[in-house]
Amino acid sequence: MRSENYNFTLKFFTTFMSVCGQDIRRGRATADDAYEVLSKCKECGLQPDAILYNALMNTVAQAAWRGEAILSHGSQVISSMKEDGVQPDAYTFNTLLDVCTKMMMKQGRRSGAPVTPMTGFSVVQLMLANGVSPDQYTFTSYMQLCVKCAERSLASPRDGERIVEMMRSQGLAPSLHVYNTLLDLIAKCASHKKAELEDGERVLERMAADGIAPNLVTFNTLLECCANSARYSQGGLARAWGIVELLVDSKLSPDRFTLNALLKTCLHSSRSLLDPLHEGTEIFHHLCEHKGRREKLAGCDIVKPDLISFSILMSICEQSILKKRATIKSADLIIKTMKRDAVLQIDTGLCNSFLACACADGSEEAVESAEEMFDAIPAACRSSQTYGRMLQLHGRRGDAGMGRARALLEEAEQAGLVDGRLLQLLIEEEMEDEETLRR
C-alpha cells in the first residue's frame, strides 16, 4: 500500500481499522478484513502499537455482536500483540470483556465454550497476570457480562457481589454505575426466581453506607426487581409504591420507565389482586394525571405513557376480564385513551394484547372489536401470534367461525407466518366442531 506520492502512517491504519469496525457492525465487512488492515500496515514497514491493536480488538467485539467471533479471536489479538512486542493495556482487556458480553448476546450462533461469569473472571485474572491493573470500566464491563448471563439464568446475585469484593481488593470503590448494574443483575435474576426484592434493597443500603446517592436509574431498576419478583411473592404492588415514595423523597420525578415498572408489578401481581385493571388504571391516574390519593406525586412531573405502557395495561385488562371484573369494552377504552394522549401508532405487541383480551371475553362484541383491530394494523405488522389469537377467537364460534378461521390460515400462509401452533389451533377447532355435532 505504499505510494510514490504518499507514505501511509500508523495513524492512517488506526483510523482505517476503526472504520473497518463500524463496517463490521453494519455487516459490510468481516474480522478477516480487519486482519488484512493489520497485514497491510506491516507490509508498509510500520510497527503496530497498542492503539492499533486495541482498534483491532474492537473489531473483534463488533464481529462478536454479529455472532461472527468468539473469545478465542480476542485471545489471538493478545497473542499477536505479544509477538510484536506490544504490551496489552487496560483498554485491551476491557474490550476483551466486551467481546464476552457481545458473545453472550449472540450465544448459539457460533461454536465454542459457553460464556459464564467465570469467563469474565478469567479475563480479569489474565489482566492481572499481565501486570495490568483493572479500572472502574473493567468491573462495570464484567458486571454487564453477568447481567447478560443472568438473562439466561446463568448468573446469580453472588456473582455481582464477588465483583464488588474484587473491586475493593484492588483499591477501587464501587461507583454509582457499578451499583446500578448490580441492581440490573439482581432484577434479571429475579425473573428466574434466583433473587428477591430484598437483594436489591440490600444494595440500596450498601450505597447509602458508601455515601452514594441513588439516581432515577437506581430506583427504576429496583422497581424492575420488584416487578420480576412479584411473580413469586405477595404484596409486590404495595412494595413498589414504597419504592416510588423513596424516589420522590430523593427529590426525583418518576418517568415512563417508573410507570412501566409499576404496571409490570401490577401485571405480575394480578393473581392476588381482586381487580388488576382498577389498580393499573390507578397507576395511570397517579403518574400521568396526578389524580388520586398519593399527594407526594403532586409536585412531580407528569409522566407521558408510551406504547409499552398501554401494552402492559392491556395485558392487565386481560387478567381482569378472566376474573370477570372487566369486558372487551375496557380494552376498547384503553385504545381510546391512547389515541386521546396522541400515542396513535398501534404496534404488534399492543395489537396482540388487545386480541388476547378479546379471546378472554369471547363474546360476539369481542369478535367485532378484534376484527376492527386486525384491520387497523398493517399486514406487515401482523405476527404468527396475531393470527393465532384470531384463530383461537373464531374457533370458539363453531361453524360460524370456521370459514373465517380458514381464510385467516390461508392469509397467514401467504404471509409466510404459518407455524405448527397455527395448524394445531385449526385442528383443535375442527375437533371441537366434530365433538359438538356428535353431542
**Rounded mean pLDDT, 197-211:** 96
In a domain, 271, yes or no: no
Helices (H), 191-306: 197-209, 216-229, 236-249, 256-268, 276-284
Residues 6+ apart with CB under 8 A from 71: 96, 99, 100, 103, 112, 113, 115, 119
Return the minimum-mean-pLDDT range out of 26-35, 266-275, 312-321, 342-351.
342-351
Contact (Cβ atoms closer than 8 angstroms) between residue 119 and residue 77: no
In a domain, 429, yes or no: yes
In a domain, 223, yes or no: no
Query: According to the model, what pLDDT value does residue 120 have?
Result: 95
**Rounded mean pLDDT, 229-252:** 93
Q: Which residue do the cell numbers 480479569 mark?
A: 124
**Rounded mean pLDDT, 390-417:** 86
pLDDT tens-place string over residues 335-344: 998 888 766 6
Residue 429 has pLDDT above 90, yes or no: no
pTM of the model: 0.86
Q: Which residue do the cell numbers 372487566 mark?
A: 326
Tally Cβ neighbours within 10 Å of residue 16: 18
In a domain, 405, yes or no: yes
**Rounded mean pLDDT, 383-407:** 87
In a domain, 426, yes or no: yes
Strand segments, DSSP code E, in 80-190 are none
pLDDT tens-place string over residues 280-305: 999 999 999 877 667 788 888 999 99
Nearest to 389 by CA among 343, 416, 349: 349
Q: 148 or 4: which carries more pLDDT confidence?
A: 148
pLDDT tens-place string over residues 19-39: 999 999 999 999 999 999 999
**Rounded mean pLDDT, 229-253:** 93
In the chain, count H helices and then E strands. 21, 0
Return the minimum-mean-pLDDT range out of 90-99, 176-185, 243-252, 296-305.
296-305
In a domain, 107, yes or no: no
Query: According to the model, what pLDDT value does residue 421 have?
Result: 62
Query: According to the model, what pLDDT value does residue 204 have?
Result: 96
In a domain, 403, yes or no: yes
Cell numbers describing residue 141? 464491563
pLDDT tens-place string over residues 131-182: 999 999 999 999 999 999 999 999 999 999 999 999 999 999 999 999 999 9
**Rounded mean pLDDT, 262-269:** 96
Contact (Cβ atoms closer than 8 angstroms) between residue 317 and residue 336: no
Nearest to 155 by CA among 201, 101, 208, 99: 101
Q: Using a pLDDT cut of 90, give the percent of the chain over it.
A: 72
Angle at alpha carbon of residue 412, lines to 408 and 416, rounded to 5°: 170
Nearest to 312 by CA among 378, 372, 258, 365: 258
Angle at alpha carbon of residue 257, lines to 253 and 259, rounded to 5°: 75
In a domain, 323, yes or no: no
Task: Identify residue 363 by its one-letter amino acid code.
Answer: S
Total number of domains in the chain: 1
SS3 content of the chain, % helix, strand, coil (to 5): 70, 0, 30
Query: According to the model, what pLDDT value does residue 419 have?
Result: 64
Q: Which residues constitute the domain of residue 406?
A: 383-439
Residue 256 has pLDDT above 90, yes or no: yes
Query: According to the model, what pLDDT value does residue 270 have?
Result: 87
Residue 431 has pLDDT above 50, yes or no: no
